[in-house]
């Protein structure tokens, strides 16, 4: 389902990931394609040298990857991941321009499957902020400021939209998802939200937009 987070598979990487530099920011007010804290991120990542193997787990529009490739030696390599089809366009173009760069249209939770346990990585970038433009966020339901379809998929070709998924779950299943992935630590509140969401769905019909779901949550909280 749409709520599954594949990144949990990275926990088994162990010594494979000798350094992880995280850019835990939300660049929603920055211009599109502007890499967040680019200089600081690259400086913190390259302590093992310029001829090593690095990974950009969240390619986005290629800001960090492009800056990293500017610094890498000819022997260096960069591997990137992203599920966003819009990101793939820029990534494929960069692959054609630079032989040191390889892109995988897969979740970064597949890191071990791609590089293998024998590969020695010197650093990994994981930018967990949103890099989508406003119209992209709205079209996929990633914002509750402007209404849009209740989709919530980064890659619209994988899985089913959240509106369809909601029609298949029980109250306990939805409560678990809300508690685990919805930033709601209170199990009782998660259960109340799940009950209200599914009750409204049964009474009125399937959710179609983000605002319809958000309004139910606001009423309960």
Q: pLDDT tens for residues 81-98?
A: 998 887 888 899 999 999
Distance CA 169, CA 81 (A): 30
Residue 128, pLDDT above cutoff 60: yes
pTM above 0.85, yes or no: no
Q: State residue 143's pLDDT score.
A: 63
Mean pLDDT (the chain, rounded): 77
Q: State residue 11's pLDDT score.
A: 36
Q: State residue 9's pLDDT score.
A: 34
Q: pLDDT tens for residues 1-35?
A: 333 333 333 333 433 333 333 333 333 333 344 56
Q: State residue 51's pLDDT score.
A: 86
Q: pLDDT tens for residues 33-46?
A: 456 567 777 877 77
Please give the share of the chain, as a percent, with pLDDT higher than 90. 36
In this structure, the number of other CB atoms found within 10 A of the CB of residue 176 comes to 18
- Give 186 or 61, the one with higher predicted confidence: 186
In this structure, the number of other CB atoms found within 10 A of the CB of residue 202 comes to 10
Contact indicator for 60, 87 with CB cutoff of 8 Å: yes
């Amino acid at each position: 389902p749409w709520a599954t987070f594949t990144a949990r598979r990275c926990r088994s990487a162990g010594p494979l990931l000798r350094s992880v530099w995280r850019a835990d920011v939300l660049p929603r007010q920055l211009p599109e394609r502007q890499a967040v804290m680019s200089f600081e991120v690259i400086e913190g990542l390259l302590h093992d040298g310029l001829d090593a193997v690095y990974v950009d787990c969240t390619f986005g529009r290629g800001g960090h990857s492009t800056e990293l490739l500017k610094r890498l030696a000819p022997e260096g390599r960069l591997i990137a991941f992203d599920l966003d089809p819009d990101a793939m366009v820029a990534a494929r173009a960069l692959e054609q321009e630079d032989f040191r760069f390889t892109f995988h249209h897969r979740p970064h939770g597949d890191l071990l499957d791609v590089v293998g346990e024998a590969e020695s990585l010197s650093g990994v970038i994981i930018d967990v902020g949103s890099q989508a433009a406003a119209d992209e966020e709205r079209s996929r339901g990633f914002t509750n400021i402007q209404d849009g379809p209740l989709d919530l998929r980064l890659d619209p070709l994988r899985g089913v939209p959240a509106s369809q998924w909601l029609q298949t779950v029980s109250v306990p299943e939805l409560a678990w998802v809300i508690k685990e992935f919805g930033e709601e630590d209170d199990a009782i509140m998660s259960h109340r939200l799940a009950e209200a969401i599914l009750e409204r769905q049964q009474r009125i019909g399937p959710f179609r937009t983000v605002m319809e779901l958000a309004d139910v949550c606001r009423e309960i909280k």
